[in-house]
Amino acid sequence: MLANRLAFVTGGGSGIGRAICQSFLKEGAKVAIVDINKNAAEDTANLLEGNDNISVHEVDVSNAASIAQALVDVKSKFSQTPCIGINSAGITRDNWLLSMTEEAFDEVIAINLKGTYLINQAVSKLMVEDQIKNGSIVNISSIIGKQGAMGQVNYAAAKAGVLGITKTAARELSKFGIRCNAVAPGFIETPMTAVVPEKVVNFVLKSVPLQRAGRPEEVAHACLFLASENSSYITGACLDVNGGLSMD
């Protein structure tokens, strides 16, 4: 499905990002595993059994220079331009609105929102410069960006912003043959959700029609579809992967 296409995947060191790397590689893609935690990215690479079609890059997605250097390294490694950009890097710093510090708010915005903006900008610029005509960018948003969540005003704001970036990028980049879409996961079993108290998990899952949490690979399959030519007439869309928790 992605034979010989090169994907630049942020947050590739764990959770959904790792599952995306695994899924894309199985479908024939070359994958640049990008994460601020190089050890985690290398762990992902090791799970992929040392495949020659992967590379590992330590990147701070909130820093434009860090992203630019990684893209130079990726082009040098594979002698081609990434035609797929996946934004899966994300953090949480949860607290109630009345108690959240400005620092906690800014940290989440810097990674989850600014990072998405910088990756969209840098990857799409490279695609345009190198005349990539079948480019695809997929941004990981969240159900929380659509409906909010108690204790996550920073995360909700960032993920809502990701949807805005996605729709704007889709409009601006379409003339270059580049599509931009989002995936909005619900409650997925990842290291990020592993710290959620059990009583909260049980409360959430009672509202899920499919009566279970999602798996990272199920989100990865949605990203695979949007990254591939099977979705060639889809741009500016948000694909919900939430077991029916939200139906809009």
Residues 6+ apart with CB under 8 A from 228: 1, 2, 27, 136
Residue of 155, 183, 227, 241 with catalytic role: 155
What's the rounded Cα separation, in Å, for the pair 12 and 88? 7
Handedness of CA 4, 5, 8, 12 (dihedral sign): negative
What's the rounded Cα separation, in Å, for the pair 39 and 56? 9
What's the rounded Cα separation, in Å, for the pair 1 and 239? 19
Amino acid of residue 77: K
What's the rounded Cα separation, in Å, for the pair 151 and 4? 42
Q: For this structure, is 155 an active site residue?
A: yes
CB of 37 within 8 A of CB of 61? no
What's the rounded Cα separation, in Å, for the pair 213 and 105? 27
Phi and psi (nearest 5°) for 139? -105, 135
CB of 81 within 8 A of CB of 134? no
Catalytic residues: 155
